[in-house]
Structure 1
Amino acid sequence: MKKFMTSRFFMLAVTLVSLVSFSACSDDDDPEPVPTITDVVANNPNFSLLLAAVSKAELADELSAPGNLTVFAPDNQAFAAAGINQEYISSASKEALANILLYHVVGARVGSASVPASDSVRTLAQKLIFASKNANGVFVNGVAVKTADVAASNGVIHVISNVLIPPTLTIAGVATSSENFSILVSAVQKAGLLTAISNPGKYTVFAPTNAAFQAAGVTQATIDELSPEEVTAIVAQHVIGTNVYSSDLINNATAPTLRTGTSLTIGTTPPSVKVTGGTNPVSNVVTTTPGATFNITTTNGVVHVIDRVIL
């Protein structure tokens, strides 16, 4: 009897130890919770300026709520490249910061593998950003993605190398706002295309200045003398139907223009375009100032100033 009791006690003890061990192992095997987008930003010191902006704009809760978001997140170096520091963030209004930050957020999860060669997508700021992917990497508004596909429970983060500033002008607005484009505007109006480049879209326009027209021997008087059909042919071969930033230029690649049957051949050293198969000199992109002479993001595409009209 004593031996039987001892045996039962031993079996009970083994069972209890096994249960405790199994429970401990189960606790150890529990996966770590995936952080939200706000958690990722808050826990990375390289996002301290982004966190300050998110907090000031009162967007932390929105970026931690369940859902599927894509955030193009500028790190501290990106803010510095844009000339934005803590002092600027502290002095900016909540509304101004929210407008900038929501321009970095898409209301769907988009991994880097799903970024198209060239396309536009609407942000939570209700304005388009222009994404692209090529042999040079992944870009948004021509800004490089430094680190892609940082996972969060409510979406994905792509770290970018500059801050995206929401545009306020259309392509037509950029052209009409400068006297240097008066011949171009006159040509566009004669071609009946001013409305087209004011409408929503994802166009790329290689915009010749007045000096660029004159360099090719084209003056306002020339535009006045040409027929609307002739002017339309000239203007249309300056426009590509999708977004092409300087980061998307691949040497010797070709891109169809809005002029039927006409494409542009791309050069990269220096950045330039010319009619494919044409014998006229190339038109160089004026790369003096990003956002001012090239990679000018608009609400409906991108503008690059060129030094010679494309003929």
Structure 2
Amino acid sequence: MLKYIRACMWIALLPVMFTGCKHDELTVPDTRESYRHAGDFVKNNYDLQLFNAALEYTGLAAGLNGEGPFTLLVPNNNAFNELGITRVSDFQRLNKDSLKQAMQYHILNRRLPVNEIPSNGVDVRYLNLAGKEVYLTFASFDPKVPGSQVNSLFVNGSFAVKKNVVLANGILYVMDKVMKYTPGTVQQFLAAQPEYSVYVAALKQSRLWEQLSGAGPFTVFAPDNAALERQGITMENLTAYNPDKYITARLFGMYILSGKNLFLTDFQALSVIYGTPSLSATIANDNFRYLLKAIKNTYQVSPTEYWLSYSDPENPALGNQGTVYGNTSRKNDNLTDNGIVHYLPDLVIKPKAALKK
């Protein structure tokens, strides 16, 4: 969706920082106040300045002062900084049409206050201005603890750091991540990323590739070329890791979770709603099991941390093995039309553990 742009001179932002415009505090206004329209509110809040710059560059800003109604899921400046976008002029380097679609993805053409979002609803879908679906998960309370209110809202793996800001023509939420959507399939997404070229070749060699063009959904934790190379697997020697010698469903296929559409923040919501932040199941076409766990610290608004490990039912005393940890937020929660792709920094099951006996 967005190219990662390296940070440049901070001085470029100074003219914006010292404008004479009033900077609204991001608080829910009293019902007696006169609310601003969405476009004006975003423009006059410095913490939303990069989102406003993207709106102006793509020609979307003026329309947000129209009748609406709108619901804005606005990434704050820190969310753009995570992608390497640190100043207004950085947007000039991006493809305008692609950026426009990305910004439309953060806008719903309806008014959606918190009290209309289903309590404890997981991945409830709403259409956005781009005609695509966004996935809202609202962990509102713990059903096992009466009166325990949490009210954490997650959208496509992003966390709402501010909710239900009332506008003259809609509602605004401030999000801690830029949501990432790429048209096409998981297969097409992986094929288009050079850093996953060895994993793509491994899936093709193992006859695990074609499934990813199907209806899905699929959640894929994709090891990049560097992760595979750390375990001795490169494009040059990949043919040695073939189905004749290795259980490839274990070595390469364990990272494909079929029938699941999982954003990392879903686990935080499930922890609230059901009391567990983890998922365990048997690896497809193998007897090993995987365990996936993720935790989001909503108080510090830090990246979601995740762990993926495996266990061998024939050796239960060994417990969970091969745990790989990650928290690289900008590489995760890549939504496609048939699933989600996350980045994995290492192999969970090393080649030796996948050798056929």
Task: Using structure 1 for the length normalisation, give the TM-score.
Answer: 0.66
Q: How far does the alpha carbon of each residue in 1:250-299 deviate from its partner, in whole angstroms, 9 at most, with x for none?
A: 5663256795999753345973234678447445445274344x444444
Q: Name the residue aligned to 1:63.
A: 64
AA at the equivalent of 2:59:
E
Kindly indicate whether residue 264 of structure 2 is the aligned counterpart of residue 246 of structure 1. yes
More helix by share: 1
Q: Name the residue aligned to 1:287.
A: 326
SS of match in other structure, 1:139: strand
Q: Name the residue aligned to 2:163.
A: 148
Alpha-carbon distance in 1 for matches of 2:104, 2:161: 20
Which residue of the other structure, out of 292, 313, 319, is the alignment partner of 1:266? 292
Which residue of the other structure, out of 100, 103, 106, is the alignment partner of 1:104? 106
Note the aligned Cα RMSD (angstroms).
4.4
Give the superposition deviation at 1:65: 2.7
AA at the equivalent of 1:180:
V
Q: Name the residue aligned to 1:185.
A: 204
Distance 1:65 1:136, change over 3 A: closer
Contact 1:49 1:79 in 2 (8 A): yes
- Runs of 5+ consecutive residues of structure 2 not aligned to the other structure: 1-30, 140-149, 269-275, 296-304
Give the superposition deviation at 1:33: 4.3
Q: Name the residue aligned to 1:132.
A: 137
Distance 1:242 1:132, change over 3 A: farther
Give the superposition deviation at 1:43: 3.7
Q: Name the residue aligned to 1:5.
A: none
AA at the equivalent of 2:244:
E
Q: Name the residue aligned to 2:75.
A: 74
Distance 1:48 1:275, change over 3 A: closer
SS of match in other structure, 1:62: helix
Contact 1:74 1:159 in 2 (8 A): yes
Q: Name the residue aligned to 1:157.
A: 172
Kindly indicate whether residue 320 of structure 2 is the aligned counterpart of residue 302 of structure 1. no
Contact 1:70 1:110 in 2 (8 A): yes
Q: How far does the alpha carbon of each residue in 1:70-114 deviate from its partner, in whole angstroms, 9 at most, with x for none?
A: 211123333333332111235656534422311211233334452
Which residue of the other structure, out of 95, 98, 118, is the alignment partner of 2:97? 95
Q: How far does the alpha carbon of each residue in 1:2-32 deviate from its partner, in whole angstroms, 9 at most, with x for none?
A: xxxxxxxxxxxxxxxxxxxxxxxxxxxx954
Of the structure 1 ranges 50-59 and 127-136, higher mean CA displacement relative to structure 2 is found in: 127-136
Alpha-carbon distance in 2 for matches of 1:129, 1:284: 31
Alpha-carbon distance in 2 for matches of 1:283, 1:121: 38
Which residue of the other structure, out of 197, 208, 213, is the alignment partner of 1:198? 213
Alpha-carbon distance in 2 for matches of 1:152, 1:88: 28
Q: How far does the alpha carbon of each residue in 1:12-58 deviate from its partner, in whole angstroms, 9 at most, with x for none?
A: xxxxxxxxxxxxxxxxxx95444332232234333333333323322
Give the superposition deviation at 1:144: 1.9
Alpha-carbon distance in 2 for matches of 1:288, 1:271: 6
AA at the equivalent of 1:287:
G
Which residue of the other structure, out of 118, 139, 146, is the alignment partner of 2:123? 118
Count of matched residue positions in the alignment of Structure 1 and Structure 2:
275
Kindly indicate whether residue 237 of structure 2 is the aligned counterpart of residue 224 of structure 1. no
Give the superposition deviation at 1:301: 1.7
Contact 1:274 1:282 in 2 (8 A): yes
Give the superposition deviation at 1:232: 9.9
Contact 1:68 1:109 in 2 (8 A): yes
Give the superposition deviation at 1:200: 5.6
Alpha-carbon distance in 2 for matches of 1:79, 1:209: 23
Identity of aligned residues (%): 21
Q: Name the residue aligned to 2:8.
A: none
Alpha-carbon distance in 2 for matches of 1:295, 1:282: 25
Alpha-carbon distance in 2 for matches of 1:112, 1:202: 28
Distance 1:199 1:124, change over 3 A: farther
Give the superposition deviation at 1:149: 1.2
- Runs of 5+ consecutive residues of structure 1 not aligned to the other structure: 1-29
Alpha-carbon distance in 2 for matches of 1:273, 1:162: 22
AA at the equivalent of 2:52:
L
Distance 1:83 1:175, change over 3 A: closer
Contact 2:265 2:294 in 1 (8 A): no
Alpha-carbon distance in 1 for matches of 2:326, 2:220: 15
Alpha-carbon distance in 1 for matches of 2:169, 2:324: 41
SS of match in other structure, 2:56: helix
Alpha-carbon distance in 1 for matches of 2:180, 2:162: 20
Alpha-carbon distance in 2 for matches of 1:129, 1:105: 10
Q: How far does the alpha carbon of each residue in 1:99-140 deviate from its partner, in whole angstroms, 9 at most, with x for none?
A: 231121123333445263235544323444444344793223
